[in-house]
Amino acid sequence: MLGFFRVTPIHEFASYAHWRHQFMQRRLRLGILFGLFYFVTFLPLDTLTYLTDGHDPFVLLWIITNLARMALLLLCLWLIRKQNYRPRQIIAVFLLASWSISLLHRFHETYTGLATNTPIAEPDLFSWALSFITQATLVPVSWPLHLISQLGVIVYYFGVNSLLGLQVVTPGLPAASLLLNTFWICCICNCSVYFYEKLSRANFATNRQLLEAQEKSERLLLNILPRPIAEQLKQGPDIIAESFAEVTVLFADIVNFTQLTETQPAANIVDLLNQVFSRFDQLAESHGLEKIKTIGDAYMVAAGLPQPQANHAAAVAAMAVKMQETLAEFNAQTNQNISLRIGIHTGPVVAGVIGLKKFAYDLWGDTVNTASRMESHGIPNGIQISEATYQRLQACDDRYQFRQRGPIVIKGKGRMVTYLLEPCATDVDIDQAVTQS
């Protein structure tokens, strides 16, 4: 039964109506089961009374009435369990369950009064109050449905019994008192359901807004930090730092960007960078790389962190090639003439998050400096890689060809042997070259 009290996360529901429908299904099932348990507990007692009181036919009728109630409640339970349950069926199931509990009792009173040729028994306001309040508490469907359920009982009691000639008001209970008690029983139940509905709707809207704000914050955090780092940061304010024995770092820089800013409006420059770097962001995600940051017109990504990656050098090389191809497509589409320098190096780094405000995931170490030098000492539209990256690509990847460049003087590093990485010509490229010639 604990499953009936299970709270389903709000984000699983597309709307309040959807959540309300699922909630009412569970609460209807709970209310029906309570009704079944109620009648089952009284059944042995009623049976014993029937057997010990000389087989009173009216006691037998009461037992049959309760068995009919239980059968109708089981039918309601079956309807709720049906596949492809429709929201409108809640109305029929609720009224059937409600009247099987409250109205069948009135049928029994009517039959008893007719069979004994005596006025109907004094109306049992206690059972009415218990029935209506229990339904309003366990199954708070919309208040008009509760009103219909209550009116069905009241109209039957006063209308049908009066038409059959049965007395509906006893001398000990004035009509005004009976009507006033009935009114307040119904009023309290329906007002409770009405205010519960308002509170429930407001609570759903508030929780939805909080959830959307939380999801938005989560997306913003994941745009700043890798997911594992973001999870660590949410656990506590401890320093986040980790050493990686080997990763591959890529720097890319737009050639002559400073001169470009002097000839273009600021809005155009920002829009241009946004378009280019947005394309690079998509490439980084598709190749499984971690974007580290942008600095002006420089773009930095890395592979092999924060999660280790066996083919980090190959992943970065593949992205570098796609970056050059993507920029060429961008130039053709926008009539620009932008060129890119790319530098790549492989080695150990330290990674972590520093600062209290505007924090970011960053890398430190000679590997980062060397990758930056590979870019700054590179050539336009070229991909310059270090000896370390060359050794890893040359040993396991035949998709590229390498042209040795150097040794060249690298600022802060001295003379270094570097390589220019180019994709190998495919059969399609060769056929196109032959056709063009």
Q: What is the CATH number of the domain that holds 360?
A: 3.30.70.1230
Cross-strand pairs, 421 = 402
Cross-strand pairs, 422 = 401
d(CA 60, CA 56): 6
What phi and psi, each to the nearest 5 degrees, are found at residue 309?
-140, 120
Same domain for 246 and 189? no
415 in any annotated domain: yes
pLDDT of residue 86: 66
Range of the domain at 291: 237-436
Q: What is the pLDDT of residues 211-245, one digit of tens each?
A: 778 778 777 777 777 777 777 776 766 667 788 88
Decide if 43 contacts 35 (C-beta within 8 A).
Answer: no
d(CA 50, CA 207): 54
Same domain for 181 and 294? no
232 in any annotated domain: no
Q: Which amino acid is at 395?
A: A
Please state whether the peptide bond connecting residue 423 to the residue before it is cis, i.e. omega within 30 degrees of 0.
no
Same domain for 140 and 97? yes
Containing 308, the helix (H) or strand (E) segment is: none
Decide if 62 contacts 49 (C-beta within 8 A).
Answer: no
pLDDT of residue 426: 47
DSSP track, 155-178:
HIIIIIHHHTT---S-TTS-HHHH
111 in any annotated domain: yes
Last residue of a domain, one of 183, 216, 249: 216
Same domain for 212 and 150? yes
pLDDT of residue 5: 47
Q: Is 335 helix (H, G, I), strand (E, B) or coil?
A: coil
d(CA 129, CA 188): 10
Same domain for 305 and 208? no
pLDDT of residue 251: 92
Domain count along the chain: 2
Q: Give the number of other CB atoms < 10 A from CB of residue 292.
A: 22
74 in any annotated domain: yes
Q: Sorting pLDDT into bands at 50, 70 and 90, what band is 297?
A: confident
Q: CA angle, 216 as apex, 210 and 220 as ends, to 5°?
A: 145
Q: Sorting pLDDT into bands at 50, 70 and 90, what band is 424?
A: confident
Percent of the chain with pLDDT over 70: 86
Task: Name 46's Cβ contacts closer than 8 Å, sequence gap at least 6.
Answer: 59, 62, 63, 66
Same domain for 323 and 286? yes
Cross-strand pairs, 383 = 342
What phi and psi, each to the nearest 5 degrees, are found at residue 269?
-65, -50
Q: What is the pLDDT of residues 197-207, one digit of tens each?
A: 888 888 888 88
Last residue of a domain, one of 216, 249, 279: 216
Same domain for 160 and 50? yes
Average pLDDT, the chain: 80
pLDDT of residue 427: 39
Highest-pLDDT range among 26-35, 50-59, 199-208, 257-266: 26-35
* pLDDT-wise least confident of 211-220, 262-271, 423-432: 423-432
Res. 156: pLDDT tops 70: yes
Between 57 and 382, where is the model more confident? 382
Average pLDDT of the segment spanning 366-384: 89
Q: Sorting pLDDT into bands at 50, 70 and 90, what band is 250?
A: very high
Same domain for 211 and 241? no
DSSP 121: P
Residues in the chain: 437
Containing 302, the helix (H) or strand (E) segment is: strand 298-303
Cross-strand pairs, 341 = 253, 382
225 in any annotated domain: no
Same domain for 308 and 204? no
Q: Sorting pLDDT into bands at 50, 70 and 90, what band is 11?
A: low
Same domain for 192 and 102? yes
Q: Sorting pLDDT into bands at 50, 70 and 90, what band is 412?
A: confident
Same domain for 167 and 39? yes
Q: What is the pLDDT of residues 347-358, one digit of tens each?
A: 998 888 876 676
Predicted TM-score (pTM) of this structure: 0.58
Same domain for 308 and 406? yes
pLDDT of residue 345: 92
Burial 229-247 (b: 16+ CB within 10 A, else e): bbebbeeeeeebeeebebb
Res. 425: pLDDT tops 80: no
DSSP 426: P
What phi and psi, each to the nearest 5 degrees, are found at residue 176?
-60, -40
DSSP track, 234-295:
HH-S--EEEEEEEEEEEEEEETTHHHHHHHS-HHHHHHHHHHHHHHHHHHHHHTT-EEEEEE
pLDDT of residue 238: 64
Tokens, residue 382: 């070229």
Average pLDDT of the segment spanning 7-23: 69
Last residue of a domain, one of 216, 247, 264: 216
